[in-house]
Structure 1
Amino acid sequence: MDRALDVFNEIQETDICLWNSVISILAIHGRGKEAQIFFSRLLETSTSPDSVTFLSVLSACRHSGLVEEGRKLFNLMNDFYGFKPTLRGLQCSNVGALLEASARLGNISMGEYAAKHLMEIDPNDSMCYVSLSNLYSREGRWEDAVRIRKLMSICGMEKVSGCSSVKVGSVVNEFSVGRGLNSIDEKEES
């Protein structure tokens, strides 16, 4: 992860896709404060954030328990940049935050309640199934964790890993959740 950030910092010309990739990778890894720092750095450039940027930085706040910071960013998104959240997006975000807080606190009944509502909103979103399975695992409810994972398998769902690529000179750097950094020198390939 740190190598990926080093590569990002070496790039002279960044675009919104690259900023979004870095912020979302930080969010996935629970590094909410760093995601906020990169978001602040983005705002200092001539590149404007888009809806994906806000989704990523709000997700980072949610995953890291940064509720007040997330609220401020939400207001910035809405008031200054004019991005209007959808009702479905708000429901998923709020109930998702409740599920993650339940998992952190070990509150199984609240986690099950949140997961049930997330599954009603979007039954194909693997995130709530994974979070619920992880909650069960943390609490030693192995049979329930396995049941949720089997349900995911039966429904054809899998935990999706994030992946992003950036080319610096002749080197293509691919960042993948779980695998880290992989670099390919195109000069050596030819």
Structure 2
Amino acid sequence: MSLFYEVPKMTSVPWNAIISCHGIHGHAEKALKLFREMREERVKPDHVTFVSLLSACSHSGLVEEGQWCFNVMREEYGIEPILKHYGCMVDMFGRAGHLEKAYNFIKDMPVKPDASVWGALLGACRIHGNIDLGAFASERLFEVDSENVGYYVLMSNIYANIGKWEGVDKVRTLARDMGLRKTPGWSSIEANNKVDVFYTGNQSHPKYEEIYKELRNLNAKMKSLGHVPDYSFVLQDVEEDEKEHILMSHSERLAIAFGIISTPPKTPIRIFKNLRVCGDCHNATKYISKITEREIIVRDSNRFHHFKDGVCSCRDYW
């Protein structure tokens, strides 16, 4: 941040960079404050500025502020929204639970919705468990981007979350018949000048016995503090003891345990994950940060999560 105030700021480029950084780290209020400073300095924002602002508002639940940004973009600066702006607005309404408003916003768009717009709606339906609107959004997605396996996975997850396994089988069969394969989840961590990559359920690591021993210890400590596993994030029809093992074997959990046994006590742990962190792992990592007295930083496909003292920087909204 100090470097930002040392460089020339006569164009939107440095402003866009710092606004975007604050957004992906969960500091939407700071991003908005910087935008106000930008306006006071009479630096003209561009379409990138507003994508960053709208994305920041979306990931922090600042719906009114996001609507203000969208209106300012059009009315004060004459910037016509592009599909990225529309996608951010749909995502913002949807994440906040305003699914009907998000759908009506799509219907009122002057341009044809693309996969990013329908994908934002489908993602919101997964968060809030709206199977009917989710099925409608997935049908639109399969029309405009039929080869993106992520959308099939999202719809399958919606069915799985409510235990509708026939729906899960139907979507998975559809994806399989098209030759699509789910992207495997993995997490990486750098420790002792070496990068280790963990896949969900990985047991091939040289230290896997130590890793699983650490996970079992952490599990016991978390339960003593009141943690209850959320089995809705196990997308398989199996018994509860197997569900608990599956959750414990998620790639980010393996990487965190490896970080704990491989680094000095109380030092930060930094994880990179290729997919969105699951809700149960997010909750578990809060407990682990408190138990181990460590800061745990997880960069998933959406944003950075800073876990410390049992709290995440995203405030459980991501």
Normalised by the length of structure 2, the TM-score is 0.36
Q: How many residues align?
A: 158
- In structure 2, C-alpha distance between the alignment counterparts of 1:39 and 1:141, rounded to whole Å: 45
Question: Which of 17, 20, 27 does residue 16 from structure 2 map onto?
Answer: 20
1:10 and 2:3 aligned = yes
Q: In the alignment, is the contact (CA less than 8 A) between 2:135 and 2:155 conserved in 1?
A: yes
Change in 2 beyond 3 A, CA 1:21/1:85? same
1:61 and 2:84 aligned = no
Q: In the alignment, is the contact (CA less than 8 A) between 2:149 and 2:180 conserved in 1?
A: no
Shift of the alpha carbon at 1:86? Answer: 4.0
Change in 2 beyond 3 A, CA 1:61/1:83? same
* Structure 2 residue identity aligned to 1:82: G
Map of 1:84 onto structure 2 = 80
Map of 1:3 onto structure 2 = none
Shift of the alpha carbon at 1:129? Answer: 6.2
Map of 1:172 onto structure 2 = none
Q: What is the percentage of aligned positions where both structures have the same residue? A: 38
Map of 1:110 onto structure 2 = 133
Normalised by the length of structure 1, the TM-score is 0.54
* Structure 2 residue identity aligned to 1:103: R
Map of 2:71 onto structure 1 = 75
Decide which structure has the larger Cα Rg and report it.
2
Higher RCO, 1 or 2 (CA under 8 Å, sep at least 6)?
A: 1
* Structure 1 residue identity aligned to 2:20: S
Change in 2 beyond 3 A, CA 1:17/1:97? same
Matches for 1:1-190 after TM superposition, within 5 Å: 8-11=1-4, 12-13=6-7, 14=9, 15-86=11-82, 90=86, 91=113, 95-121=118-144, 144=168, 147=172, 154=180, 177-178=299-300
Once the two structures are superposed, residues 63-95 of structure 1 have per-residue CA deviations (whole angstroms, 9 ceiling, x without a partner) of 333332222211111111111124786335764
Q: In the alignment, is the contact (CA less than 8 A) between 2:126 and 2:154 conserved in 1?
A: yes
Relative to total residues, which structure has the larger helix share, 1 or 2? Answer: 1
Q: In the alignment, is the contact (CA less than 8 A) between 1:111 and 1:132 conserved in 2?
A: yes
- In structure 2, C-alpha distance between the alignment counterparts of 1:65 and 1:104, rounded to whole Å: 13
Change in 2 beyond 3 A, CA 1:97/1:156? closer
Once the two structures are superposed, residues 20-77 of structure 1 have per-residue CA deviations (whole angstroms, 9 ceiling, x without a partner) of 2333344445543343233223323343211011112112223333332222211111
- In structure 1, C-alpha distance between the alignment counterparts of 2:46 and 2:64, rounded to whole Å: 21
- In structure 2, C-alpha distance between the alignment counterparts of 1:111 and 1:50, rounded to whole Å: 33
* Structure 2 residue identity aligned to 1:114: A
Which consecutive unaligned segments of at least 5 residues does structure 2 have? 87-112, 186-272, 275-297, 305-318
Change in 2 beyond 3 A, CA 1:139/1:156? closer
Q: SS state of the match for residue 59, structure 2?
A: helix
Q: In the alignment, is the contact (CA less than 8 A) between 1:61 and 1:70 conserved in 2?
A: yes
